[in-house]
Protein backbone atom coordinates (compact mmCIF):
# COMPACT_ATOMS: atom_id res chain seq x y z
CA UNK A 1 0.00 0.00 0.00
CA UNK A 2 1.21 3.51 -0.77
CA UNK A 3 1.67 6.03 2.04
CA UNK A 4 0.05 9.45 2.02
CA UNK A 5 3.48 10.92 1.34
CA UNK A 6 3.71 8.75 -1.77
CA UNK A 7 0.39 10.16 -2.97
CA UNK A 8 1.58 13.74 -2.49
CA UNK A 9 4.89 12.96 -4.21
CA UNK A 10 3.07 11.37 -7.10
CA UNK A 11 0.83 14.42 -7.34
CA UNK A 12 3.78 16.82 -7.51
CA UNK A 13 5.39 14.75 -10.26
CA UNK A 14 2.11 14.54 -12.18
CA UNK A 15 1.52 18.31 -11.96
CA UNK A 16 5.07 19.13 -13.05
CA UNK A 17 4.96 16.61 -15.92
CA UNK A 18 1.63 17.97 -17.12
CA UNK A 19 2.78 21.55 -17.04
CA UNK A 20 6.05 20.52 -18.71
CA UNK A 21 4.24 18.80 -21.58
CA UNK A 22 1.69 21.57 -21.97
CA UNK A 23 2.73 24.93 -20.52
CA UNK A 24 -0.26 26.88 -19.17
CA UNK A 25 -2.33 23.69 -18.80
CA UNK A 26 -3.43 24.39 -15.22
CA UNK A 27 -4.03 28.11 -15.60
CA UNK A 28 -6.29 27.42 -18.60
CA UNK A 29 -8.18 24.72 -16.70
CA UNK A 30 -8.53 26.96 -13.67
CA UNK A 31 -10.27 29.59 -15.81
CA UNK A 32 -13.07 27.39 -17.02
CA UNK A 33 -14.58 23.92 -17.02
CA UNK A 34 -16.75 22.99 -19.95
CA UNK A 35 -17.46 19.26 -19.68
CA UNK A 36 -19.91 17.71 -22.11
CA UNK A 37 -20.65 14.80 -19.81
CA UNK A 38 -22.15 14.25 -16.40
CA UNK A 39 -21.26 10.86 -14.97
CA UNK A 40 -23.46 9.32 -12.28
CA UNK A 41 -21.63 6.23 -11.13
CA UNK A 42 -21.08 3.86 -8.25
CA UNK A 43 -18.72 4.93 -5.46
CA UNK A 44 -16.79 1.67 -5.98
CA UNK A 45 -13.04 2.42 -6.14
CA UNK A 46 -12.64 0.13 -9.15
CA UNK A 47 -14.83 2.26 -11.43
CA UNK A 48 -13.12 5.67 -11.80
CA UNK A 49 -14.96 7.66 -14.48
CA UNK A 50 -12.00 9.52 -15.99
CA UNK A 51 -9.66 6.53 -16.08
CA UNK A 52 -11.99 4.09 -17.81
CA UNK A 53 -13.27 6.59 -20.38
CA UNK A 54 -9.94 8.25 -21.14
CA UNK A 55 -11.35 11.66 -20.25
CA UNK A 56 -9.03 14.38 -19.01
CA UNK A 57 -9.56 16.79 -16.11
CA UNK A 58 -12.27 19.26 -17.16
CA UNK A 59 -14.01 16.81 -19.49
CA UNK A 60 -16.47 15.03 -17.19
CA UNK A 61 -18.50 16.26 -14.23
CA UNK A 62 -18.85 13.43 -11.74
CA UNK A 63 -21.31 12.35 -9.06
CA UNK A 64 -20.88 8.98 -7.40
CA UNK A 65 -22.86 7.20 -4.71
CA UNK A 66 -23.36 3.62 -3.58
CA UNK A 67 -24.92 1.67 -6.46
CA UNK A 68 -25.38 4.77 -8.68
CA UNK A 69 -28.91 5.52 -7.55
CA UNK A 70 -31.16 8.43 -8.47
CA UNK A 71 -33.32 9.15 -5.42
CA UNK A 72 -35.87 11.81 -6.34
CA UNK A 73 -35.27 13.56 -2.98
CA UNK A 74 -31.45 13.43 -2.99
CA UNK A 75 -30.51 17.08 -2.72
CA UNK A 76 -26.85 16.27 -3.40
CA UNK A 77 -27.52 14.49 -6.69
CA UNK A 78 -30.20 16.99 -7.74
CA UNK A 79 -27.86 19.93 -7.10
CA UNK A 80 -25.21 18.26 -9.24
CA UNK A 81 -27.70 17.55 -12.04
CA UNK A 82 -29.10 21.09 -11.93
CA UNK A 83 -25.65 22.67 -12.10
CA UNK A 84 -24.51 20.30 -14.82
CA UNK A 85 -27.59 20.85 -16.97
CA UNK A 86 -28.26 24.54 -16.42
CA UNK A 87 -24.80 26.03 -15.92
CA UNK A 88 -22.34 23.63 -17.53
CA UNK A 89 -24.84 22.66 -20.23
CA UNK A 90 -23.67 19.08 -20.48
CA UNK A 91 -25.09 17.22 -23.47
CA UNK A 92 -24.98 13.72 -22.06
CA UNK A 93 -25.68 12.24 -18.66
CA UNK A 94 -24.29 8.75 -18.22
CA UNK A 95 -25.68 6.59 -15.44
CA UNK A 96 -23.07 3.89 -15.07
CA UNK A 97 -23.35 0.84 -12.86
CA UNK A 98 -21.11 -2.18 -12.76
CA UNK A 99 -21.39 -5.94 -12.60
CA UNK A 100 -20.47 -7.38 -9.21
CA UNK A 101 -21.78 -4.25 -7.44
CA UNK A 102 -21.68 -4.69 -3.66
CA UNK A 103 -24.67 -2.34 -3.31
CA UNK A 104 -26.83 -4.57 -5.50
CA UNK A 105 -25.69 -7.62 -3.54
CA UNK A 106 -26.34 -5.97 -0.17
CA UNK A 107 -29.82 -4.91 -1.28
CA UNK A 108 -30.76 -8.51 -1.98
CA UNK A 109 -28.99 -10.59 0.67
CA UNK A 110 -31.77 -10.34 3.25
CA UNK A 111 -29.38 -9.05 5.95
CA UNK A 112 -29.59 -5.83 7.97
CA UNK A 113 -26.66 -3.55 7.17
CA UNK A 114 -27.88 -0.29 8.74
CA UNK A 115 -28.62 3.01 7.06
CA UNK A 116 -27.53 1.67 3.69
CA UNK A 117 -30.65 -0.54 3.66
CA UNK A 118 -32.77 2.60 3.25
CA UNK A 119 -30.48 3.92 0.55
CA UNK A 120 -30.70 0.64 -1.40
CA UNK A 121 -34.51 0.40 -1.31
CA UNK A 122 -34.94 1.43 -5.01
CA UNK A 123 -32.98 -1.70 -5.99
CA UNK A 124 -35.41 -3.92 -4.10
CA UNK A 125 -38.29 -2.04 -5.78
CA UNK A 126 -36.79 -2.80 -9.20
CA UNK A 127 -36.32 -6.46 -8.18
CA UNK A 128 -39.97 -6.61 -7.15
CA UNK A 129 -41.13 -5.08 -10.44
CA UNK A 130 -39.16 -7.66 -12.41
CA UNK A 131 -39.68 -10.57 -10.05
CA UNK A 132 -40.81 -13.19 -12.56
CA UNK A 133 -38.06 -12.29 -15.04
CA UNK A 134 -35.37 -12.45 -12.35
CA UNK A 135 -36.67 -15.66 -10.77
CA UNK A 136 -36.27 -17.34 -14.16
CA UNK A 137 -32.49 -16.76 -14.01
CA UNK A 138 -31.03 -19.82 -12.30
CA UNK A 139 -27.49 -18.61 -11.51
CA UNK A 140 -27.35 -16.23 -8.52
CA UNK A 141 -24.52 -14.03 -9.84
CA UNK A 142 -26.10 -13.77 -13.28
CA UNK A 143 -29.39 -12.80 -11.59
CA UNK A 144 -27.66 -10.03 -9.62
CA UNK A 145 -25.97 -8.76 -12.77
CA UNK A 146 -29.31 -8.72 -14.57
CA UNK A 147 -30.78 -6.78 -11.63
CA UNK A 148 -27.82 -4.41 -11.91
CA UNK A 149 -28.77 -3.68 -15.54
CA UNK A 150 -32.46 -3.29 -14.69
CA UNK A 151 -31.59 -0.89 -11.88
CA UNK A 152 -29.44 1.27 -14.19
CA UNK A 153 -32.35 1.45 -16.65
CA UNK A 154 -34.69 2.42 -13.81
CA UNK A 155 -32.30 5.19 -12.66
CA UNK A 156 -32.15 6.54 -16.22
CA UNK A 157 -35.95 6.72 -16.27
CA UNK A 158 -36.10 8.31 -12.79
CA UNK A 159 -33.60 10.95 -13.84
CA UNK A 160 -35.52 11.66 -17.04
CA UNK A 161 -38.61 12.40 -14.96
CA UNK A 162 -37.00 14.90 -12.58
CA UNK A 163 -38.33 18.45 -12.96
CA UNK A 164 -34.80 19.70 -13.77
CA UNK A 165 -34.46 17.41 -16.78
CA UNK A 166 -38.09 17.81 -17.86
CA UNK A 167 -37.75 21.63 -17.83
CA UNK A 168 -34.54 21.45 -19.84
CA UNK A 169 -36.26 19.40 -22.53
CA UNK A 170 -39.30 21.73 -22.54
CA UNK A 171 -36.89 24.58 -23.26
CA UNK A 172 -35.47 22.62 -26.20
CA UNK A 173 -32.16 21.68 -24.57
CA UNK A 174 -30.14 19.00 -26.34
CA UNK A 175 -29.71 16.50 -23.51
CA UNK A 176 -29.43 12.72 -23.60
CA UNK A 177 -29.47 10.31 -20.67
CA UNK A 178 -27.69 7.01 -21.14
CA UNK A 179 -27.44 3.78 -19.14
CA UNK A 180 -24.08 2.00 -19.22
CA UNK A 181 -22.69 -0.94 -17.31
CA UNK A 182 -19.03 -1.64 -16.58
CA UNK A 183 -17.47 -5.08 -16.25
CA UNK A 184 -14.99 -5.29 -13.37
CA UNK A 185 -13.79 -8.58 -14.87
CA UNK A 186 -12.84 -7.20 -18.30
CA UNK A 187 -12.70 -3.41 -17.94
CA UNK A 188 -15.30 -2.95 -20.68
CA UNK A 189 -18.19 -0.49 -20.75
CA UNK A 190 -21.44 -1.59 -22.38
CA UNK A 191 -24.29 0.64 -23.55
CA UNK A 192 -27.58 -0.79 -22.24
CA UNK A 193 -29.44 0.90 -25.06
CA UNK A 194 -31.96 2.66 -22.83
CA UNK A 195 -31.08 6.23 -23.83
CA UNK A 196 -33.73 8.85 -23.16
CA UNK A 197 -33.44 11.75 -25.61
CA UNK A 198 -36.38 13.97 -24.76
CA UNK A 199 -39.89 14.36 -23.40
CA UNK A 200 -41.43 11.75 -25.71
CA UNK A 201 -38.98 9.06 -24.62
CA UNK A 202 -39.49 10.01 -20.97
CA UNK A 203 -43.24 9.36 -21.00
CA UNK A 204 -44.27 6.55 -18.63
CA UNK A 205 -45.83 4.71 -21.60
CA UNK A 206 -42.36 4.44 -23.15
CA UNK A 207 -41.01 2.57 -20.14
CA UNK A 208 -39.69 -0.87 -20.79
CA UNK A 209 -41.46 -3.59 -18.87
CA UNK A 210 -39.89 -6.97 -18.46
CO1 LIG B 1 -21.06 -0.72 -6.95
pLDDT at site 204 = 66
- Ligand 1 center from residue 195 Cα (angstroms): 21
Q: Is 42 in the active site?
A: yes
pLDDT at site 202 = 78
Residues, beta carbon < 5 Å, ion ligand 1: 42, 44, 101, 103
**Catalytic site residue from 101, 146, 157, 178:** 101
- Tell me the pLDDT of the chain (210 aa) as tens digits: 889 999 999 999 999 999 999 999 999 999 988 999 999 999 999 999 999 999 999 999 999 999 999 999 999 999 999 999 999 999 999 999 999 999 999 999 999 999 999 999 999 999 999 999 999 999 999 999 999 999 999 999 999 999 999 999 999 999 999 999 999 999 999 999 999 999 988 776 544 444
Q: Is 194 in the active site?
A: no
- Domain ranges in the chain? 1-31, 34-202
- Say if pTM beats, i.e. exceeds, 0.85: yes
Distance CA 37, CA 57 (A): 12
pLDDT at site 144 = 97
- Ligand 1 center from residue 172 Cα (angstroms): 34
pLDDT at site 49 = 97
CATH numeric code, 34-202: 3.40.1050.10
- Ligand 1 center from residue 96 Cα (angstroms): 10
- Ligand 1 center from residue 68 Cα (angstroms): 7
- Ligand 1 center from residue 103 Cα (angstroms): 5
Amino acid sequence: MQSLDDLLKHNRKWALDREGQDPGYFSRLAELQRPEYLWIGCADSRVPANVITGLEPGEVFVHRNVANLVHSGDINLLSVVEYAVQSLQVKHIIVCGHYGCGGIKAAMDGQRHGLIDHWLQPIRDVAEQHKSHLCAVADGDVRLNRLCELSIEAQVRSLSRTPIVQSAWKEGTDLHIHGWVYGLHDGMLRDLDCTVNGLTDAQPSAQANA
